[in-house]
Amino acid sequence: MYRPIQDSLNQLAGTVGRSNQDCINILAGTTANPREQQDAFNIWAGTSGLSRQGAANVKAGTTSNPLSLQGALDTLAFGTFTPASISGLVGWWHTGAGLFQDSGLTTPATANDDPIGGWQDQSGNNRNLLQTTSGRRPLLKTNTLNSRSTILFDGSDDYLTTGAFTFNQPETIYIVFQQVSWASSDTIFDGASGNSMRLYQNLTTPTINMTAGADTNFSTSATIGSYFIVTTIFNGASSILQVNNLTELSGNASTNNAGGFTLGIFGNLVSAPANIQVAEVCLFNTAHGSTDRTSMKNYLASRYNISI
């Protein structure tokens, strides 16, 4: 689950339970004459006049691809950035962990073409993606993307769902996937009900667009048969869709709230299933700004060797 900045600073300072202010003064060597946080961060990083985030990125050596403050501190303290480095993570599924053949999460899925009946949530929130009907389970495909596995949805009736939970706009979703084939109206993901947080195939190949009650942000960039990182932010009139680092599309997706997450099909109906292959999905209950989006896309691009 989300790691507070305080935990990372205590790790770096070699302390336990100290405040952010105390930790950064310990790191800066200014405990005898304590400084406010921005000054202390700059002293620690050997910089001047930078924000806490700017100084932490200098210290972490990540200025060419800046991380959030939490991401930079995690890199320094724990040697890695993950989606859990950003606040507001409500669901996180990747094929490196938590794959099961059954919805009871008892039989691991490890072999090529094993059915996926359960995909465990790695966010710590226990929002597992499940399929209780054996004939509607997607298949594990091993060693398919940068030596990592993916999950293949057949476009007939395969899907996974969390069921209902509180998930209201603004909502940010990252998905690493490819369109295996394309058919108008087929759904890549949605909320707990139809058109509540939907990314789907529309108009002409290979167009995808988003809706939370109103269609907007039509992109033709996610071509068939290649993997992409797609970022969607459902935030009313300020909704965003972006494929990799290509042109950011902005429009009004309307105001429906997701209320859950469904992968591969239209809401809670066995309708409009998509033929897609998925490697990772992350959900956040905030509208990410450019810094957090950059951190997430860089993490996913590195993990799956996707040129963005």
**First-to-last C-alpha distance (Å) of the chain:** 27
Q: What average pLDDT does the chain have? A: 94
Average pLDDT over residues 80-104: 93
C-alpha distances (whole Å) from 232 to each of 80, 90, 175, 228 are 24, 15, 9, 13
Average pLDDT over residues 115-121: 97
For residue 127, pLDDT beyond 60: yes
Give the architecture (CATH level 2) of 89-304.
Answer: Sandwich (2.60)
For the chain, give the secondary structure using H, E and C: CCCCHHHHHHHHHCCCCCCHHHHHHHHHCCCCCCCCHHHHHHHHHCCCCCCHHHHHHHHHCCCCCCCCHHHHHHHHHHCCCCHHHCCCEEEEEECCCCEECCCCCCCECCCCCCECCEECCCCCCCCCEECCCHHHCCEEEEEEECCEEEEEEECCCCCEEEEECCCCCCEEEEEEEEECCCCCCCEEEECCCCCCCEEEECCCCCCEEEECCCEEEEECCCCCCCEEEEEEEECHHHEEEEECCCCCEEECCCCCCCCEEEECCCCCCCCCECEEEEEEEEEECCCCCHHHHHHHHHHHHHHHCCCC
Give the side-chain half-sphere CA count within 13 A for 124.
9
Percent of the chain with pLDDT over 70: 99
290: CB partners within 8 A, 6+ apart: none
pLDDT score recorded for residue 66: 80
For residue 104, pLDDT beyond 80: yes
List, for residues 224-267, the tens digit of each pLDDT value.
999 999 999 999 999 999 999 999 999 999 999 999 999 999 99
List, for residues 7-18, the tens digit of each pLDDT value.
889 889 988 889
- Band of pLDDT at residue 3, cut at 50, 70 and 90: low
- Band of pLDDT at residue 71, cut at 50, 70 and 90: confident
Average pLDDT over residues 120-146: 96
pLDDT score recorded for residue 36: 96
Burial environment of residue 204 by CB neighbours within 10 A (0 to 12, 13 to 18, 19 or more): exposed
Q: Where are the domains of the chain?
A: 5-81, 89-304
For residue 116, pLDDT beyond 70: yes
Torsion of CA 179, 184, 188, 192, to 10 degrees: -170
- Band of pLDDT at residue 2, cut at 50, 70 and 90: very low
Average pLDDT over residues 78-99: 90
